[in-house]
Chains A and B, each alone.
Chain A
Amino acid sequence: QVQLVQSGAEVKEPGTSVKISCKASGYIFSNYHIHWVRQAPGQGLEWMGIIKARTGITIYIQKLQGRVTMTRDTSTSTGYMELSSLRSDDTAMYFCLRELPDTYYFDSWGQGTLVTVSS
């Protein structure tokens, strides 16, 4: 079955970076876009960006441009999201999601990775 398995929780100091992985199984990884979404404590979901299926083209939400980098390794069916210059308000649960191109919805989600930014 389709699975997106994310890396474990992270505790980071302000100003540092975090890189989260999302390993896909049960489907052809390169045929699907990977999106990243986060949820701060007590807050709603926030779409962060996408890395597109065949081209690897990335689109990021404007507020994160310059700090977020989404990559993928098709040989290991793994997506990555790196967030730099971490601030306390980056403390959140981070999810990876998949989308079949041109369907515009997310049909499978990772289990989430908690990132805590604290000194």
Chain B
Amino acid sequence: QSALTQPASVSGSPGQSITISCTGTSSDVGAYKYVTWYQHHAGKAPKLIIYDVSYRPSGVSNRFSGSKSGNTASLTISRLQAEDEADYYCTSYTSSYTYVFGSGTKVNVL
């Protein structure tokens, strides 16, 4: 099972919006609504920010939003803030009853 494809890095200035893509296959991202996004600050445990493609857990800022089209899911961060600088990972359930993570995207706030 190959990792889902994410851009290595995405940059933006405070207040801007950025979008991170997550491309899989018809056996994972394209097959299920079970796409999840995690925010990972170095040295800390990853934090769930989006589940089921577009749902935010309680307490997560509404600046984070998710969507999916075909085999590609996307995470958009609006009104970018310095605290958003972190690594972001998507993950998807697969037709093999397993899970696959994305390759990870480093978000840089300029």
Contact = CB atoms under 8 A, between A and B. Distances in A.
Contact of B89 (A44, A50, A103): A44
A84 to B, nearest CB: 20
A40 B74 CA distance: 25
B46 interface: yes
Nearest to B44: A111
Contacts of A62: 1
In the complex, which range does the number of interface residues on chain B fall in? 20 to 34
Contacts of B102: 44
Nearest to B104: A44
A109 B46 contact: yes
A108 to B, nearest CB: 8
A46 B100 CA distance: 7
A106 B38 CA distance: 9
Nearest to A111: B45
B45 A95 contact: yes
B27 to A, nearest CB: 14
Interface of A: 35, 37, 44-47, 49-50, 59, 61-62, 95, 103-107, 109-112
Interface of B: 1, 3, 32, 34, 36, 38, 40, 45-46, 48, 51-52, 57, 89, 91, 93, 97-104
